[in-house]
Structure 1
Amino acid sequence: MKQLLHTLLQSLATLAFCAGSVTAFAADKVPVMASFSILGDLVRVVGADRVTVITLVGPGGDAHVFEPKPADAKNLLQSKLLITNGLGFEPWVQKLVKSSGYKGPVIVASQGVKVRSMLAAKGNGTETDPHGWQDPTNVVIYARNIASALGKLDPAGAAAYQANSEAYVKELQALDAEAMAKIAAIPADKRKVITSHDAFGYFAAHYGIKFLAPQGGSTEVEPSAKQVAELIKQIQKERIKAVFVENMSNPKLLTQLSKDAGVTVGPELYVDALSKAGGPADSYLKLMRHNVTQLVVGMKQN
């Protein structure tokens, strides 16, 4: 009995140690790090049970203002692959790679996407719009790039990764057709939306919606009083009722703007990050369906 109790206590101690460990990689799976939560979801779908994924910027996190911590560098060193969005979305990645000493491959999931431009965060000229995942036809490219990268890293699983990505492509195509039908039912002159920061460029172009944002492309830069005043005039002139704030933005600005313009802020949208597990947008597919549903409801009120 004493021996049995001793063995049990040893097992519990081991479990407690593992639970408190910095890294969460499983020993029998390919360790992959993704830069942010949406990308992490895509890697999990394509990699399935052959990979373990850790994301740097988790659900609800803001990649625009993210600062890597020592634990992130330690986890990166234990990874065999780092997958990023690219397009300037993660300006801190190269510094993290260098400081951590990571020597493995770094894959840009957006490689091959037709890049759009957006107004620069500080209002001077234009810059690359990094939010490529807002168009599900771009996510088809993301999924296939991820499958290719995983296949090179783990040749024994290459066929499985390709099959997983192609199955997911069918889900993305079904999502896109569903979204297109719902938005097409809204008259073109009503397809106008106010959001807190300019992250819907790809979505807008693909679905034929006009988005206006007081904060520009980055959550780091506050709009001027003049920009806000001009937007209020436009809201009132065009009678825009579809006003939304994103899950990783400070709602104070848009709440004040909507109050001054006499409109009500709609439900939260998910743009640069997933919701936490169990939330309305804890996967990319759920995120897109949630956003489309809320945007359609809002635009019908215009």
Structure 2
Amino acid sequence: MKQYLVAAAALALLAGCGSGGTDAAAGSPGGTSISVVATTPEVADFVRHIAGGDVRVTQVIKPNVDPHEYEPTPADIQAIGQAQLVVKNGVGLEAWLDQTIRSAGFKGSVVDSSQGVELRKGDPGDEEMKDGDPHIWHNPLNAKIMVTNIEKGLAAADPAHASAYAANLTSYSAKLDQLDADNEAAYAKIPAEQRKLVTNHDAFGYYVDRYKLTFVGSVIPSMDTSAELSGQQLTELVAKIKATGTKAIFTESSLPPKTAEAIAKQAGVKVIGGEDALFGDSLGPDGSYLEAEQHNTQVITSALAG
């Protein structure tokens, strides 16, 4: 991890100075709330909805930052060291987290929000992806499992607010059910033979499975964003796009669109990007999971129906 030793050394300096940066987690005055570190934008949004106003949440990975390539900062280490609870996506997405927790001297509990989710197979040749596909949140039913795990973790760490966490879980789970129903209704209007998807990288497997899409391929041939297409793979993807009658390549907000644009030009299809780029590994600037997933469905269904 290229920056890890630098970050660890900087932590010692921060601790010695008693620094309490604005992003560092800390209990509220009077000690009535706990501090939680959430790793990804999706997990952080889930924590905020379940916690309500009773918890201070520090989000490690900011919007439109690639989680596969993330390296912890001194502020991340400091925040984890001061937190009572760390909530992670799991399934190997946060490859940096265990070492960071050790360096921070974290003594609290870790909530793995993926517990109980039925995982898609990962890439056995990829160390980060070997445990399975980590993009579990793209199925709202998986998101319900994730928020249930988060509610249990919060209640265990902060029993005084357990009833509030339970009520928030009930309310937010209903919104996830509505999201799933709306997605199903949107795809019911698209003939099955038109539901073909090409994306920047293989981040939408759970979404594809849930809503019965056909995944044609990805610009990056992996669930991890560090992989690259070979010349032969590029040629094969262009041929597959043409052969299947795929209408578009969907870019993602956290990844550059250049290669997707080149492939689309060769295949003679349009590129969906800019403000319509999908939220694959990230969320929008407002950090809303529900709005990001609604956006993805609206963009995909509009392009496939057009």
The TM-score, its normalising length taken from structure 1, stands at 0.88
Structure 1 position 284 matched with structure 2 position 292: no
Q: Distance in 1 between matches of 2:98 and 2:21?
A: 28
Which among 74, 79, 85 is matched to residue 75 of structure 1? 79
Which among 254, 270, 278 is matched to residue 269 of structure 1? 278
Contact 2:91 2:131 in 1 (8 A): no
1:150-178 per-residue CA deviation (whole Å, 9 max, x = no partner) reads 00111011111011011111010011001
Which among 227, 247, 271 is matched to residue 253 of structure 2? 247
Q: Could you tell me which residue of structure 2 aligns to residue 293 of structure 1?
A: 298
Letter of the 1:233 counterpart: A
Which among 143, 146, 156 is matched to residue 152 of structure 1? 156
Secondary structure (helix, strand or coil) at the match of 1:103 reads coil
Distance 1:233 1:120, change over 3 A: farther
Which among 190, 194, 197 is matched to residue 190 of structure 1? 194
1:58-77 per-residue CA deviation (whole Å, 9 max, x = no partner) reads 11111100000111101111
Question: Percent identity between the aligned chains?
Answer: 36
Tell me the CA shift for residue 258 of structure 1. 0.7
Contact 1:214 1:227 in 2 (8 A): no
Q: Distance in 2 between matches of 1:134 and 1:101?
A: 33
Which among 46, 56, 60 is matched to residue 60 of structure 2? 56
Contact 1:134 1:200 in 2 (8 A): yes
Distance 1:163 1:154, change over 3 A: same
Unaligned runs of 5+ in 2: 1-18
Tell me the CA shift for residue 241 of structure 1. 1.1
Q: Could you tell me which residue of structure 2 aligns to residue 221 of structure 1?
A: 227
Contact 1:46 1:165 in 2 (8 A): yes
Contact 1:121 1:218 in 2 (8 A): no
Tell me the CA shift for residue 239 of structure 1. 1.7
Letter of the 1:44 counterpart: R
Q: Could you tell me which residue of structure 1 aligns to residue 13 of structure 2?
A: none
Structure 1 position 236 matched with structure 2 position 242: yes
Letter of the 1:62 counterpart: D
Tell me the CA shift for residue 242 of structure 1. 2.6
Q: Distance in 2 between matches of 1:269 and 1:230?
A: 23
Q: Distance in 2 between matches of 1:133 and 1:249?
A: 18
Q: Could you tell me which residue of structure 1 aligns to residue 214 of structure 2?
A: 210
Secondary structure (helix, strand or coil) at the match of 1:117 reads coil
Tell me the CA shift for residue 233 of structure 1. 0.3
Letter of the 1:35 counterpart: T
Distance 1:84 1:78, change over 3 A: same
Distance 1:126 1:189, change over 3 A: farther
Contact 1:194 1:213 in 2 (8 A): yes
How many residue pairs are counted as aligned between the two chains? 279
1:24-60 per-residue CA deviation (whole Å, 9 max, x = no partner) reads 5452431100011111000000000001111111111
Contact 1:118 1:201 in 2 (8 A): no
1:191-211 per-residue CA deviation (whole Å, 9 max, x = no partner) reads 101101001111111100112
Tell me the CA shift for residue 22 of structure 1. 5.3
Distance 1:24 1:119, change over 3 A: closer
Q: Distance in 1 between matches of 2:71 and 2:181?
A: 37
Q: Could you tell me which residue of structure 2 aligns to residue 109 of structure 1?
A: 113
Tell me the CA shift for residue 120 of structure 1. 5.3
1:258-277 per-residue CA deviation (whole Å, 9 max, x = no partner) reads 11111111120001111113
Distance 1:253 1:110, change over 3 A: same
The TM-score, its normalising length taken from structure 2, stands at 0.87
Contact 2:25 2:80 in 1 (8 A): no
Tell me the CA shift for residue 222 of structure 1. 1.1
